[in-house]
Amino acid sequence: MRSTPPALPFDIEAIERELARLWQSAPMADRRNELALSRTSVLTLFVYAPDTSRADTARDLISRLSMHHPSRVVLLVASGQEPLEEPQISIQCNLGIAERYAPCYEQITITLPSDGMELLPSLLIPLALPDLPAFLWWLGPLPCHDRRFVAVARAVDRLIFDSLESSHPIADVIATRRLVQQVARSTAVSDLNWGRLGPWQETTARMFEIPHCRWALEAITRVDLRYGYARQRLTPNPTQALLYLGWMANRLGWRLASFEVDGNSWHLDLTAPGNRRLSWTIAAQPGEELFHGQLVHVSFVAEHNHETASFSIDLSGHDRATLRLRVHDPNHCVLEHAFHHHLLDLQRLLINELQEVTPDWLYEHALDEATAIAVEYRKLERQKEH
């Protein structure tokens, strides 16, 4: 027998009444600065923070995001305190970003019990602005193993999470794919970790678009991929590496043939169209916290008719990370190209995600391939246990 969800400790309609009162009482012009204050919303952004520290981070980011995507913002903060605080309701305006007007947005902060999962659908649905897309940005590990979370995800048009936050990466890849399938008819799911791969995908494509290197795409024999591992973390997070491999496998028709694990190194044999074989090595590379779970190196070797070419991409730097591309073609000519990797910036990632409501089919196909590898890894781990 299913238990009855706990009652909300406040009145949703009272929140709407208070917002209406604030708008009616707010002066719609700032005469001192000769600015018109504009009530603008293009979406509803729900933000779930599992603790007050992440909530503070979210507040700072929300203020900056509002310049690009003015919206109703509902910040949901998990708290173990009893009794829960009353909702905080305000209207925020960004002064000084335009010459004649300043966009204003509604901000609602609601504290929830630490295990308030069952409350969320009854908050998301009535607080979403009608006829506008609703987004849920979930901070912290995604509760993709919790059956109650399916109803939460179905209450919005797009769910945004970050698999870099995962505590159990392999299991979570598999569970995330299952969640994507369960909510496919109502909700698009996006992973900020997939967004970080954009520069890697662009650079990989650029390598093989070089006229005298196009032959190499169909002649890859070996790939070496490394991702960062901060030793203070309990476990490596290979999710980004799996999504990158999944993207290439889907685009090029590669299929997993065999799989071996040696500590934090994986050795995969894949079959390409025409029954061509190629080998992948995925390894965790010890490094600093900034690059934990991030791709830091990928190199390709292509061989055809006794010709060999090598390609490599490396991530380096600190405050401004840099991707560096190097190509050695059969004539031993060297091409080098470097550019800044801006997508380590969370604000940029979120701006991109809030521009789309429809599913990202490339991500979902890459996730399918990544899940197949994660399943094989789990099989190997279970065999070792027995």
pLDDT digits (tens, 9 = 90+) for 116-157: 888 899 899 999 999 899 999 999 999 999 999 999 999 999
- Judge whether residue 367 has pLDDT over 90: yes
- Judge whether residue 47 has pLDDT over 60: yes
Integer Cα distance of 33 and 331 in angstroms: 64
The whole-number pLDDT of residue 145 equals 94
- Judge whether residue 359 has pLDDT over 70: yes
DSSP assignments along 116-153, one per residue:
-GGGHHHHHHHHSPTTS-EEEEE-SS--TT-TTHHHHH
pLDDT category at 34 given cuts 50, 70, 90 is very low
- Judge whether residue 239 has pLDDT over 80: yes
* Least confident piece of the model among 27-36, 137-146, 319-328: 27-36
The whole-number pLDDT of residue 266 equals 95
pLDDT category at 344 given cuts 50, 70, 90 is confident
- Which stretch of DSSP H or E encloses residue 181? helix 169-182
- Judge whether residue 7 has pLDDT over 70: no
Residues 6+ apart with CB under 8 A from 237: 163, 164, 166, 169, 227, 229, 292, 293
Report how far Cα 130 is from the mean position of its chain's Cα atoms. 26
On whether the CB atoms of residues 78 and 107 are closer than 8 A, the answer is no
User: Angle at CA 179, nearest 5°, toward 290 and 143?
Assistant: 55
| Domains of the chain with CATH codes | 12-139 (no CATH), 198-385 (3.30.360.10)
Percent of the chain with pLDDT over 90: 48
* Least confident piece of the model among 62-71, 92-101, 314-323: 92-101
Tell me the C-alpha to C-alpha distance, in Å, between residue 27 and each of 38, 39, 40, 61, 70: 10, 11, 15, 26, 19
- Judge whether residue 8 has pLDDT over 90: no
Instruction: Average the pLDDT over 295-304 and give the result.
Output: 92
- Judge whether residue 31 has pLDDT over 60: no
On whether the CB atoms of residues 51 and 119 are closer than 8 A, the answer is no
- 338 or 133: which carries more pLDDT confidence? 133
Residue 66, SS3 per DSSP: coil
Phi, psi values for residue 51, rounded to 5°: -160, 170
The whole-number pLDDT of residue 242 equals 97
Integer Cα distance of 260 and 373 in angstroms: 11
- 227 or 326: which carries more pLDDT confidence? 227
